[in-house]
Structure 1
Amino acid sequence: MAASTLAIFLRDRRTRLDPATFGLSGRRRTPGLRREEVAQRANISPTWYTWLEQGRGGAPSADVLNRIARAMLLTEAEREHLFMLGLGRPPEARYTSVDGVSPRLQRFLDRLDTCPAIVKTVTWDVVAWNCAATIVLSDYGKLPPGERNMLRYLFRNPELRAKQHDWEAIARFSIAAFRADAARAGAVSQIGELVEELSEASADFRRIWAENEISAPGEGAKRLAHPLLGTIDLEYSAFAVDGRVDLNLMVYTPVDPDVAERIRELVQDRR
């Protein structure tokens, strides 16, 4: 059943391809690319590719599926579906750098008047935030892009450290979650420079990193000493951004309704 479903998917995607996109011309009796053309682009045997479209030959390797995905110009969602049909599992994560978020996601963040919210990458660079986050957490817009990294901020900013009720616990959890995020998204090699930088700059980071702890971020609580709001308690939840393994949404909810209302007022004053 899986082989026949994979065969149907491959035939469907092949016939949707426009030969002109690949610089191919001439009259064709059927739409899309020919099987041998896909095989050539994927650098695999035409016979092997034909067998895949016929539901024969056994399960393809991950390398073959990746080659076919590139040859057919599949989207990331289509590539994942191809792997689920061919191997019964998603492909290994491929890390890509991120410059920002979609306007739709930013509008969602901006609607959260009482809840500070940020979007961070798997390397913990903050790429989006709302006004409430600017007030409660940090004014990321005033920081150079290279300094909008949560770990750099946590380990290299004395003012932020002083605001944390239990800095040691937060630091330990952050490093453990950071390590898990990077591994899950296939970004282990990309974090090496940051880890080396922080290890040299902070004895605390070097000490905690060496413990090799792993933690999956989900939900939790933190207490902050805020210059305008006083001591405040926040609950936080982490959410995956649909279709983006490289992004994570963090929403902080004030426990005290009065604090939430005060944050709303400060947000309105800035608009």
Structure 2
Amino acid sequence: MAQENAAGIASEATAPVSKSAEIRRHELATFLRSRRERIPPEQVGLPRGARRRTPGLRREEVAHLSAVGVTWYTWLEQARNIQVSVQVLDALARTLLLDPSERAHLFQLAGAADPTPAATCPSLTPALRDTLRQLEPYPAAVQNSRYDILAYNRAYARLLCDLDAVPPEDRNCLLLAYTHPDWRSSIVHLDDTLRLMAARLRASLAGHLGEPAWKMLLKRLQTLPEFREHWERYEVVGNRSKTKEFLNPYVGHLTLEHTDLWLSPDPGPRMVIYTPKNEETRERLERLYELACAAG
């Protein structure tokens, strides 16, 4: 993150200043300060200490938790004229526990586009959302080549975990498969699945090198030792239909056929559909859908 600090110093010295940009920087500084001061240290696993006078978190604590330099973050709260990358904005949003509206406000003040699945996706038309509903009781979702879950139906919402309870910016199949206990316990062949997903991600990455959203996802994944082990194999696998087995906590073992329906000529957004491989799975999917509907 030293590069981020160096870039900030350089941009302060050279970036042109406009009145609107100056106002936005001051609004950003005030917003960051207000969000920092509302978070008790215990909420993010830090001790309060007897001598704490600052309400909420200290600047250096936010900087440490976000993996940015203390001086650089201090400049942000001082409304200095520095540039902020989307990776840093994402880290700050997570550290400051921003909800979706606050996250959108942060990116808007910084003059940056949020590249996470929490942002609006133009591929998700009303007709496509209606198609997801029409496929019920079969689980179906729209994903992109990063494994971001962009939309899903009620059956998919209960297939591997309570997906509605997962923040939109964390709805990524790879992140969930490596970090979410319920998602992991629902995958019957977990290690093989993780290796395959990492290999597919590497195959897709070739067409997106340097893109902020991809860099941001990889940065999060590479903090996980299990992912790094799979990633460093340098395996590459293309997309294909396949059979998957899940152990659903509500209805038991499911054997499903996984099918990708591509939504554009390029291997980008796709509709993922799970259809039953046997009658027992079909009946269990119907029960799962009934439970999902009853849960609202």
TM-score using structure 2 length: 0.54
Q: Is contact 2:276-2:282 (8 Å) kept?
A: yes
1:256 aligns with 2:278: yes
Partner of 1:239: 261
Distance 1:149 1:260 in 2: 26
Distance 1:256 1:137 in 2: 19
Secondary structure of 2:233's aligned partner: coil
Distance 1:245 1:229 in 2: 33
Partner of 1:89: none
Deviations 1:235-262 (A, max 9, x none): 1011211356531211111212232233
Relative to structure 1, the CA distance from residue 146 to residue 152 in structure 2 (aligned partners, 3 Å threshold; closer, same or farther) is same
Identity of aligned residues (%): 24
Distance 2:222 2:276 in 1: 33
Q: What letter is aligned with 1:166?
A: H
Secondary structure of 1:136's aligned partner: coil
Number of residue pairs aligned between Structure 1 and Structure 2: 174
Secondary structure of 1:253's aligned partner: strand
Aligned with 2:140 (options 117, 121, 137): 117
Shift of 1:197: 1.7
Distance 2:266 2:235 in 1: 25
| Structure 1 stretch displaced more, 130-139 or 162-171 | 130-139
The 5-angstrom pairing of residues 28-47 of structure 1 reads none
Distance 1:181 1:229 in 2: 34
Distance 2:280 2:232 in 1: 41
Distance 1:188 1:235 in 2: 34
1:224 aligns with 2:246: yes
| Cα root mean square deviation, aligned | 2.2
Distance 2:169 2:137 in 1: 27
Distance 1:187 1:249 in 2: 24
Partner of 2:175: 152
The 5-angstrom pairing of residues 132-211 of structure 1 reads 132-184=155-207, 186=208, 189-190=211-212, 191-200=214-223, 202-211=224-233
- Gaps spanning 5+ residues in structure 2: where? 1-114
Shift of 1:112: 1.1
Relative to structure 1, the CA distance from residue 259 to residue 124 in structure 2 (aligned partners, 3 Å threshold; closer, same or farther) is same
Shift of 1:218: 1.6
Partner of 1:73: none
- Gaps spanning 5+ residues in structure 1: where? 1-95
Distance 1:188 1:233 in 2: 38
Secondary structure of 2:188's aligned partner: coil
Q: What letter is aligned with 2:142?
A: V
Distance 2:130 2:193 in 1: 29
Q: Is contact 1:229-1:259 (8 Å) kept?
A: no
Distance 1:102 1:164 in 2: 30
Aligned with 1:215 (options 225, 237, 245): 237
Q: Is contact 2:251-2:287 (8 Å) kept?
A: no
| Structure 1 stretch displaced more, 218-227 or 255-264 | 255-264
